[in-house]
Amino acid sequence: MINIYIYLNKEEMATRCAQTLVKEKLVARASIDINNKVLQNENDLLITETICVITAQTKAILFAKIVEFIQTNFDKNASIFSTPLTQANDNLSLFIRENTQDIKS
């Protein structure tokens, strides 16, 4: 299981994306943080952006499918990454397994 992080530029797009990911059972749940300030160095120039960040819990095996889905339907340039859920209580673990797409062999 993983936490997946999706950086999008517009609040409305982040809301639609999170809703769709949950409805399609690509993620078990999602939260949206708006007005996140991001600073980065581009060619020795400090760039500051305000973005929305979706944080969602899902099965690791769905990562590539989620990336393709977001790039096709929302933003082909979205920054997307994940971190492993190395420990979760039984309630969260079961919730994620029961509320995401079944994995077919």
Q: Is the dihedral of CA 43, 49, 55, 58 positive or negative?
A: negative
CATH entry, 2-85, from 2.40.50.140, 3.30.70.120, 3.40.50.300, 1.10.1040.10: 3.30.70.120
Contacts 24+ apart (CB under 8 A), 84-87: 84/1, 84/2, 84/3, 84/60, 85/1, 85/2, 85/3, 85/57
Q: Tell me, what's the pLDDT at 90?
A: 87
Return phi, psi of residue 84, to 5°. -70, 145
The residue assigned the tokens 């899902």 is 58
Q: Tell me, what's the pLDDT at 88?
A: 84
Length of the chain: 105
pLDDT digits (tens, 9 = 90+) for 15-33: 999 999 999 999 999 999 9
Low pLDDT (below 70) residues in the chain = 105
Instruction: Please tell me whether residue 22 adopts helix, strand or coil conformation.
Output: helix
What residue segments make up the domains of the chain, in order of their start?
A: 2-85
Strands 2-8 and 45-58: antiparallel
Q: What's the pTM?
A: 0.90
Contacts of 99 (CB under 8 A, 6+ apart): 25, 28, 29
